[in-house]
Structures are given as structure tokens and as C-alpha cells.
Structure 1
């Protein structure tokens, strides 16, 4: 495994980091990069190499100020109109957590929203919203984004790792440690040979070959406990 310090430097430099959650949880490796550093080239790599769902995770305090809520909460509200929504939103994922999904967005300057260029614009502009959340961020978000779009937003737990130990929380913690905006692009690493999530062994080989830091969730939790609390 790589060091937390090495991963922080990579994120500050606009480079990728790999994050593995617990084997007893999703047991997946996400390829992640700071939202404010994203370029169309990064999106292309996430799409071609990682292959999972390209999402934007934001800090809970950002979501609260923007008025964003979890999708499962919205669906439960919709159940007053259609009871099926309540059944669809009921229960936790097989790995034990409620999903962190909220709405999906496109920046209004984009065309279809799905191209590498369009998604990079949406993600970078969302990072700007996060940076300006205490000034013009809320107004910027309401005026310059539309939904539904092609960038799903994930909301970190209010207590971060004390409330949930998913990639969303792990990666937002890394953004905080790096002094970057609490917005991070994440994408699961998939294996086109097994048709499943990429194994940790293959991820380690990929990380070594491409000089990408690879972190385990327990490293991040231990580092946060020792250096933040």
C-alpha cells in the first residue's frame, strides 16, 4: 500500500489515487481524482480504464447548503403519490449501508452532458460551487446547473467515517486532508475478463505499473484518527 502523504500529494497535483474499501463491504477499488483538477482526459481514463459509474461525491455540509437530499429520501416522499416508490427505496444495500446517491446534474454550458468534455465541465464547475459555498455558491448552483444530468452526485455522511465507511466518505476525507474542495470524482474499477469488480491483486499491479497511490480504508481511518481527532 502507498502512504497517505503520497496520495495527498498526488491529489494536489491533479493525479489519480486508488481507494479500496473493506473486503467485508463492497470490496471494490475506486479510481478517484479531485474534482477541481478534472480534465476531459481524466474522464476518458475513468470511462475506458475504470469502467464503472463516474460520480461526483461532495461533503455533507455542501449538500445541506445546496438543499440536496439523498435519493432514497426523495423516493420515500414520492411514495405519497405512488406507493411503489416506498418499496423501491426500502432497505439497505447488500453491504449494509444506505446508498449515498442524490440527484444528477449537467452544467448549463454543456450540450448533451455525456461527453468527456461536458462531464469535465460539470464536475469542475461543481467544484467551484463548493469553493464558493459560503458566498455565491448556492446562487451559482441554482442558476447554472440543470437536473437530471449525466453526473450523479453522492452525498457524504454527516459524520463522515463515523457514520458510513464508503468510498464517498473515505475520499471526502482525503480531500479535506489535502486542503482541496470537498468534491471528488470517483469511479469503480471493473474487470472485463471476470465481469466483476477488479480484484485487489490486479489493482495493485495496475497501481504499480502506472505509479498510482493505492490506499486501504483502514489506512485512511487510522490516519484520520491519529491526525485529525
Structure 2
């Protein structure tokens, strides 16, 4: 339920988001970036199994000149640009991938401890962008790229253009009055496919995690389904 999910997030607890049957048909484990620990990274790595990513609002990314990765590739790739043609994407018109980062305080960056440190420091940085007038130069003092945390940029206006897990999870952080950055991972099954909604709902119930659908979130926002 939507209200339960908001309460859990406020208390630093995981919530599972199922996007929609007619989109990816996937469930992501979602945790507020400011509450990430090495134990949560381990859970996401073992029980999720997909790509662990951390979100940022497009407005905040713009203030730091953090680009969508396809825009960066479009400018810099010295190869035929047909590789950037996403018109055959099955679930959306574009991805939200940005650069990858490591905190400068990490070692290799890939351990659960290192990834948690990068995410927490990133969340703290995002929370201070406007409070302290932080710039891309400040960002470079704290983080390096490439790294082991994949950043995702939540589309400006949230669901007016896109209704993916990047937007759904970041919107929930906003609604919970948290720093608007979520750390998310897709849940995969041992059969080689995405874990079914039925299995992820059961997982959420067994672990005391919240479960909410994209439809519920969009209905609160104004509704598109």
C-alpha cells in the first residue's frame, strides 16, 4: 500500500515497487540512499541480483552538470552513432543512465562497504546542493568517475514523460520528505528471468518490507493508468 510504503521509507526500511504489467513487469527493491548500509547492499546484491543503481532528480543533476550517459556518448563516441538508436527499446523511449561514481574515500569501490559509503556520501551531497551551493567542482572533490555506483537521472516533472523505476522511486523519496535519491535494484529469479510479481509480493511479506505498484503511485500523483 502507498501510505505504508511512505511510512516505511521514512524509517529507512526497504520497499518493493512493481512498475506495471505493460511496462518492464519488474519489481525493484528500493531503499532511501541516505539510509543505505553495507547490509542493505548485500541484501540487494543477493536477493535482488540486478544492477544496483542510485537516483538523482534531473534538476539536481543539472546543477552539477551530471549528464545522461547517452548525451555524453553522442558527443564523444568516435564510432557510428547508430549504436545510440533506442527506437527498438521494448519498454520505453530512453534510459535514465548517467555516469558511474566511487567515493574518493573508498578502496576498489565494489565491496558492500565501499558501495554503501559511496551511496551515503552521494545522498548527503545531494541534500546539500542547495543548502551549501555545491558545484560540480565540489562534486569532483568527493567522487571520481568511472566507479561502481550507477547513477540514474529521474526525469524532470516525474511522470509527465516517463514512468520507470527511476521516477517512481525518487518520487516516493520526495513524498516521504527524504533526500530525493533512492538506491534500487531489479529482482531476478533463478529461472533466468525477472522475478514474478507474485514471488516478490511474497518476499516482501516474509521480510516485513513494503510493496507498492506503479499504478498506486501514479494514482496518488494524478493518475496515468
Supply the distance in 1 between the matched residues of 2:83 and 2:30 (Cα, whole angstroms): 29
Runs in 1 of length 4+ with deviation above 6 angstroms? none
Supply the distance in 2 between the matched residues of 1:162 and 1:170 (Cα, whole angstroms): 12
1:107 aligned residue: 103
1:169 aligned residue: 167
Supply the distance in 1 between the matched residues of 2:111 and 2:138 (Cα, whole angstroms): 22
Supply the distance in 1 between the matched residues of 2:13 and 2:176 (Cα, whole angstroms): 13
Counterpart contact for 1:57–1:172, Cα < 8 Å: yes
Supply the distance in 2 between the matched residues of 1:189 and 1:216 (Cα, whole angstroms): 14
The 5 A counterparts of 1:75-224 are 75-79=73-77, 82-84=78-80, 86-92=81-87, 93-134=89-130, 135-138=132-135, 139-192=137-190, 194-224=191-221
SS of the residue 1:190 aligns to: coil
**Structure 2-normalised TM-score?**
0.94
SS of the residue 1:168 aligns to: helix
Supply the distance in 2 between the matched residues of 1:137 and 1:9 (Cα, whole angstroms): 30
- How many corresponding residue pairs? 220
Measured after TM superposition, the shift of residue 136 of structure 1 is 4.5
**Is 1:74 aligned to residue 82 of structure 2?**
no
**Is 1:13 aligned to residue 37 of structure 2?**
no
1:31 aligned residue: 29
Supply the distance in 1 between the matched residues of 2:134 and 2:34 (Cα, whole angstroms): 14
Moved more, 48-57 or 139-148: 139-148
Moved more, 106-115 or 20-29: 20-29
Q: Which runs of 5+ in 1 are unaligned?
A: none
| Deviation digits for residues 173-220 of structure 1 (CA, Å, limit 9, x no counterpart) | 10000000111000000001x110000011111111112111110100
Supply the distance in 2 between the matched residues of 1:211 and 1:180 (Cα, whole angstroms): 21
| Deviation digits for residues 62-96 of structure 1 (CA, Å, limit 9, x no counterpart) | 111110111111111124xx133x12211242212
2:42 aligned residue: 44
